[in-house]
């Protein structure tokens, strides 16, 4: 199997590390080689967080090189834009539209760019962009904290991850506390259906 590089980028408190762990666990269930890493960032609320999931027989290093991401899973628009260095014109960018301005912007009296501006800059880089209302769908599922699972559901619908839906659901069952499982499963389905519908229209 060829190498698949997924870069997850956002801010602390969005469940990025859990999302990466779910992808890694599901991949192992398929008997595939996988490396998962948190590159840098502070996992407290507001700090930038990046995680890599690299799948493939020859993958040894846990971090992807710039320009090699097959998928950039953006949990926050500005952080997605900041991490375009990992993307190329072939990269699929799946981005949550929920803006969480970094603390530094407000202290420096700088404005957060509009979603339209951010999306335009990303589209100039690659045409493969899907914007997902992850926070809205997460609230529909029962809690905004399930936005990471909405994004995983959306990513699954693109067919870019060589992992069966059942393996991903099993990983969610293993890693999510039982009392939150129903809402997380609902979040997965909502994300999946949303992106499935959007990509049918777009591609």
Neighbours of 165 (CB within 10 A): 15
Q: For residue 142, give Cα distances in angstroms to 96, 145, 199.
A: 17, 9, 25
**In the beta sheet, which residues pair with residue 194?**
none
Class of domain 4-131+161-176: alpha beta
Please report, in tens digits, the pLDDT of each residue of the chain (203 residues total).
578 999 999 998 899 999 999 999 999 999 998 999 876 555 455 678 999 998 888 877 778 878 889 999 999 999 999 999 999 999 999 999 999 887 766 666 678 889 999 999 999 889 999 999 999 999 999 999 999 999 999 999 999 999 999 999 999 999 999 999 999 999 999 999 999 998 775 54
Report pTM.
0.91
Output the DSSP codes for 82-131.
Answer: HTGGG--TT-EEEEE------HHHHHTTPPPPPHHHHHHHHHHH-S-EEE
Domain boundaries, the chain: 4-131+161-176
């Amino acid at each position: 199997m060829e190498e698949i590089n997924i870069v997850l980028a956002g801010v602390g408190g969005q469940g990025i590390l859990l999302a990466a762990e779910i992808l890694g666990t599901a991949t192992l269930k398929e008997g595939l080689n996988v490396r998962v890493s948190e590159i840098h960032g502070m996992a407290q609320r507001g700090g930038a967080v990046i995680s890599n999931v690299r799948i493939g027989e020859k993958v040894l290093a846990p971090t992807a090189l710039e320009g090699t991401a097959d998928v950039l899973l953006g949990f926050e628009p500005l952080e997605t834009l900041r991490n375009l260095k990992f993307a190329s014109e072939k990269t699929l960018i799946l981005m949550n539209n929920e803006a969480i301005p970094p603390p530094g912007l407000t202290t420096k009296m700088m404005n957060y760019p509009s979603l339209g501006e951010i999306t335009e800059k990303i589209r100039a880089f690659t045409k493969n962009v899907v914007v997902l209302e992850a926070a809205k769908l997460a609230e529909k599922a029962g809690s905004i904290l399930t936005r990471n699972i909405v994004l995983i559901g959306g990513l699954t619908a693109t067919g870019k991850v060589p992992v069966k839906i059942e393996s991903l659901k099993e990983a969610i069952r293993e890693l999510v506390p039982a009392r939150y499982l129903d809402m997380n499963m609902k979040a997965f389905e909502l994300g999946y259906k949303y992106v499935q519908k959007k990509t049918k229209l777009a591609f």
